[in-house]
Structure 1
Amino acid sequence: MENAKIRWGIIGCGDVTEKKSGPAFNKAEGSKLLAVMRRDAIKAADYAERHHVPNWYSTVEELLDNPALNAIYIATPPSSHFEYALKALEAGKDVYVEKPVTLNAHEARLLLDAVTRKNGKLVVAHYRRQLPLFLKVRELLNIGKIGAIRTVQLRLWQSRSPELVTKGAAEWRTDPTISGGGYFFDLAPHQLDLMLYFFGKPISYEGFSQIQDPVSTVADHTTGTILFENHVIFNGSWCFNVRSEDNIDRCEIMGSQGKITFPIFGNSVTVEYDHQKKEYVFAHPEHIQLPMIASTVAFFQGNGPNPASMEEALTLMEIIDCFATVK
C-alpha cells in the first residue's frame, strides 16, 4: 500500500467520531473517509449526510465488503473491538482501533497473534502520544532537563460522574461486559500508555482495585505501581468517588534536578529546575486525533513506523488487568 491513498470505513460512528476523530480522516494527507457503519441505519445515514460521507451501512459485513476500503477505524465500545478487528484483518484491511484495544489482556494476546499471522497492520488510538504537549514532555525527559528520573506520581480523582468522559454515552462505561470495568478502563489507558511511551518497558507491576461506594457495581478506586527497566518507579491512584471539589488530574515526574508537572487531560506543562519555573501552554488540535491519524496513514502507506503498536497495547492491557483485580 506504499504511498497509496488510505480509504477509510468507520465501524461505529458515534459520539467520539463527531469531532475528535471522524473529520480528521479527510484532513490527513493521503487519507479519505468513504464509508461509515452504525447498527441504527437512521443514525448512520444522518452521520453520512452531515459529514459528507458517500457511503453508509447498518452492518459490519456490508462495510467490509466494500472493495474501495483499505483501512477500518473501529470506534465501538470495547466489547466488540476484538471481533471487529479480526473481521477487518480477515478482509485484508488495515486497522485503527479505539482504546482500550480489547476488554482484557487475553483478547489482546489473541489479537496480536492474528495481526502477526495475517501480516497485517494495526494501530491503537493512543492519540495523546502525538499531541504537542506530550511530545514536549518526552523531549524534556530525553534531554535530561530535570536530571535522572526518580519517581512518577499520578493522581486522577473524580466524582461519581467524571466530566472527562465523552458526553452522551457514559452508561456503558460502568458495564463491565461492555467496557471491561468502570471509568478506570476508559481513562487510565491514556495515562498508562503515556508512561510506557515515556519510560519504556516495565519489568514488574502490581496493584488492585476496590468497590468503596456501596451503590457502585464496578470498582471505583484503583491503585498501582510499575517498575521500569530504567529504574523509574511509577505510582498511580485512580478514585471515582470523591467530592467534585476534590477532583484532580495531575502527573508529577520527579528528577534529581527538578520536576515536570502536567494534567493528562489538560493543556499545560510546568517545569521546575535550577530554581526556575517555566510553563508551556498548548492548544490541542480541533480534531484531537488528527496527529495520530496522520501518523497512522503514513504507517499504512509504508512511510513511517507504527505510532502505537499492538505489542505495546498488550503490555498495557496486562497492566490494566493487574491493577483492576478487585480485592
Structure 2
Amino acid sequence: MINWGIIGCGDVTERKSGPAFNKVNGSKLLAVARRDAEKAADYARRHGVERWSGDAYALLEMKDIDAIYVATPPSSHLEYVCAALEKGFSVYVEKPVALNTAEALKMAEAAQASAGKLVVAHYRRRLPLFLKVKELLEQKVIGEIRTVQMRLWQSIKPALVTTGAANWRTNPAISGGGYFHDLAPHQLDLMLYFFGEPVHYDGFSQCQAGDDGVADQTSGTILFADKIVFNGSWCFNVADTDTIDECEIIGSAGSIRFAVFGQRIVVKDGNGEQVFEFEHPEHVQQPMIASVVGFFNGQEENPCTIEEAVELMKIMDKFARLTV
C-alpha cells in the first residue's frame, strides 16, 4: 500500500487528481496540507482524508506516509520536491515541473541523491486517446511522418483554465510565465512521448495585446529524428469566435487530427476518414496515478521521468524568450 500526502490541495486536486489516490489499487490518501489551514481542513473533511495541516513541513514529518504529491503552483515545486526527496519520500509533482530549466535540473540532482523516486504529472500520456494516437503512429497507419502542425488559440481568459485559478497563471514569479506555461506542457510533452528526443528547437514569444510583461503569443519549431518537423502556435488574445485547439500529424499516406484538450481522433488515409471517440475518466489523472503507484512498487517503468521533464523545460524556455 502506498500512503500519500498532498502538498497543495487546491483546485487541481478537487476532481482531476485527489480522489483518484483512493480509487487506485494499493493506494490511499492519508494526509493533505495547504497554507490556509481552514481550507486544508475543509478539503480533508469533504474528501474523507484522515489528517490535514496548514504546514507542508509538518506533513513531511507525519508517520506512515510513503509518497508525496506536490500540487502547488510551480514557484514552490522545487522547494517541496527537494524537501520530500531529501527525507526519502517518492514524489509525484505537477506540471510544469518547475519555473525553468535550472530548477528542473536541481530536481534531477535531488532525485539522483535520494532513495525516493520522482515522477512528473504529464498524465495525458496514460489517457486512452493519446495511447491510441501513439499506437496509430507506431503502426504507420498514415505512413512516414512529415510534419506536425499544432495550434492553441484562446481568448484573454481561456476556458481551458481551472475556474477561479487564473491570477497566479499570469504572474511569472509564480507560474514561470503566462497561459503558455500552464497549457503548453501538456502538448509539448505529448510530442516528446510520440517522437522522442528532439534534434533541434527554436522559438519566441511576444506581448502582442498587453503591456504587463506576460507573453500572449508564442511560436516554436522542433526538429525530431527522421526529419519530422513540428510547428506550434499559441495565442491567448483572439476573439471567442476564433478559438481553436488542434494538432494535425501529416504523414506520407494520410493524417491524424485531434485536440489535446478534446475527446476524438480523426484519421484520414487512402480508405477515407475514420473517427475514434473517447470519454476521459472522471478523475483524469487516475490512469497516470495507477502507473505511478506501479512504478513506486517496482512493477512498472517510470511513466514520466525528471530527465524528460528537463528536456521539455529546455524547449519551453527557448520558446518563451520575449522578443517584443
- Residue among 223, 228, 251 paired with 2:224: 228
* TM superposition shift of 1:67: 2.0
Shift in Å, 1:214: 2.8
After the TM superposition, which residues 32-43 of structure 1 pair with which residues of structure 2 at under 5 Å, given as runs? 32-43=28-39
CA shift at 1:215, angstroms? 4.4
User: What is the aligned partner in structure 1 of residue 258 from structure 2?
Assistant: 262
Aligned to 1:172: 168
Aligned to 1:73: 69
1:207 maps to a residue whose letter is G
Cα displacement (A) at 1:119: 4.2
Distance 1:307 1:200 in 2: 14
Q: Which amino acid aligns with 2:92?
A: Y
Distance 1:217 1:314 in 2: 25
* 2:145 is equivalent to residue 149 of structure 1: yes
- Rounded to whole Å, the distance in 2 between the matches of 1:230 and 1:37 is 46
Matches within 5 A, 1:12-23: 12-23=8-19
Specify the alignment match of 1:185 in structure 2: 181
What is the distance in 1 between the residues matched to 2:206 and 2:287? Answer: 36
Q: Answer yes or no: is the 8 Å Cα contact 2:104–2:310 preserved in 1.
A: yes
Moved more, 237-246 or 216-225: 216-225
Query: What are structure 1's unaligned runs of at least 5 residues?
Result: none
| 2:234 aligned residue (233, 238, 241) | 238
Aligned equivalents of 1:214 and 1:222: distance in 2?
A: 14
Tell me by how many angstroms 1:157 deviates. 0.4
Q: Which residue of 2 aligns with 1:93?
A: 89
Which residue of structure 2 lines up, in the alignment, with residue 44 of structure 1?
40
> For the residues of structure 2 that align with 1:132 and 1:214, how far apart are their CA atoms?
38
Task: Tell me which amino acid in the other structure corresponds to 1:148.
Answer: E
User: Root-mean-square deviation (CA), in Å?
Assistant: 0.7
1:117 deviation in Å?
Answer: 1.7
Q: Deviations over 1:208-254 (max 9, x none)?
A: 00000134430000000000123211000000011110000000000
* Aligned with 1:135 (options 131, 138, 148): 131
Aligned position for 1:202:
198
Give 1:29's aligned residue.
25
Amino acid at match of 1:180: G
Within the candidate set 258, 279, 283, 2:279 is matched to 283
Q: Conserved in 2, the CA contact under 8 Å of 1:127 and 1:292?
A: yes
Is the contact between residue 88 and residue 95 of structure 1 (CA under 8 Å) also seen in structure 2? yes
Give identity over the alignment, percent.
62
* Post-superposition CA distance 1:71-108 (Å, at most 9, x none): 00000000000000000001110000000000000000
Which residue of the partner structure matches residue 319 of structure 2? 323
Query: Following TM superposition, by how much is the alpha carbon of 1:168 offset from its aligned partner in structure 2, in angstroms?
Result: 1.3
Q: Does 1:11 align with 2:7?
A: yes
* 8 A contact 1:174–1:217 mirrored in 2: no
**Do 1:223 and 1:323's aligned partners in 2 also have CA atoms closer than 8 Å?**
yes
Q: Secondary structure at the match of 2:289?
A: helix
CA deviation map 1:44-82 (0-9, x unaligned) = 101000000000011011100012101000000000000
CA distance in 2, matches of 1:114, 1:319: 22
Q: Does 1:162 align with 2:158?
A: yes
Code of the residue aligned with 1:320 in structure 2: it is M
Residue identity matched to 1:22 = G
Which digits, 9 at most, give the CA deviation of each residue in 1:297-327, with x for residues without a partner?
0000000000011000000000000000001
Aligned 8 A contact 1:199 1:230 in 2: no
Q: Say which of 102, 108, 111 aligns to 1:106.
A: 102
- Partner letter of residue 298 of structure 1? G
1:7 aligns to what SS in structure 2? strand
Q: State the secondary structure of the residue aligned to 2:18.
A: coil
* Letter of the 2:322 counterpart: V
Match of 2:302 among 292, 306, 309: 306
Contact conserved, 1:260 with 1:270, CA < 8 A, in 2? yes
Q: Is the 8 A contact 2:89 2:115 kept in 1?
A: no
1:84 corresponds, among 74, 80, 84, to: 80
> How far has the Cα of 1:133 moved from its partner?
0.4
In structure 1, what is the Cα distance between the partners aligned to 2:17 and 2:142?
A: 34
**Counterpart code for 1:137:** V
Tell me what 2:120 maps to: 124
What is the distance in 1 between the residues matched to 2:182 and 2:216? 12
